[in-house]
Amino acid sequence: MTSPQPGRSCGPGLIGNTSENQSFFEFAGVYCCCYKIVIIQRIPPLQASSHAPQRFLMADFADVNLITRKALQAVRTYYDCLDNPEKRAGLLNVYIQEPTSHPLMEWNGYAMADRNAVWEYLSNLPKTKHEMKSVDAQPLPGNTNGDSFFATVHGSVMYDDEHTRHFFQRFVFCVRADQKVYIANDYLRWTGEESA
């Protein structure tokens, strides 16, 4: 991945800004992109009004920066544990325990409804080696102090030293009362592979 064109400074460790609503930066060697999400409230044209449309920011840049740092820490920890068979069992504790109306994890179309199914799948994976190419983190509606966000990761993975596969993975994270970050949804798709 090539680095974004440098622009005005976005803050410590940030390498550039491409527009008012989109910022690129490098954090510990991974290029990230964050967007300032703007919701415009429309006033119905029932009668003449002196009120102009109001702009509400879903999250300001400081929140997005906080979320990006939390997301990077969470996905780095996730892949570190997944790639180390001795640490892999620890991943079971990062998935929410409460039942959900959707699969907790979906890997290449194979849905796993709960933590037991997730653990059965992860414990049967061969040795893995993941490399993140890019990470994008965004706040979820209702986010307060980085307590709910999602992250998308594009990267490559090798299973048992076979050929490289490219993947897209999306995590939905939430912070619970114990102040720990949990995965509420995990979705992975292979997007391509390289010949050996």
Q: Give me the domains of the chain, ranges plus CATH numbers.
A: 16-39+52-193 (3.10.450.50)
Q: In sequence order, what DSSP letters do the residues of 63-123 get, joined into one string?
A: HHHHHHHHHHHHHHHHHHHHH-TTTGGGGGGGB--S--SS-SEEETTEEE-SHHHHHHHHH
pTM: 0.68
Helices within 98-188 (DSSP H only)? 115-123
Residue 61's pLDDT band (cuts 50, 70, 90): low
Write down the pLDDT at residue 71: 92
The mean pLDDT value of the chain amounts to 76
Write down the pLDDT at residue 95: 94
Residue range 154-160: mean pLDDT, rounded: 95
Q: How far apart are CA 100 and CA 96, in angstroms?
A: 9
Write down the pLDDT at residue 196: 66
The alpha carbon of 172 is separated from its chain's Cα centroid by a whole number of angstroms, namely 7
Write down the pLDDT at residue 60: 61
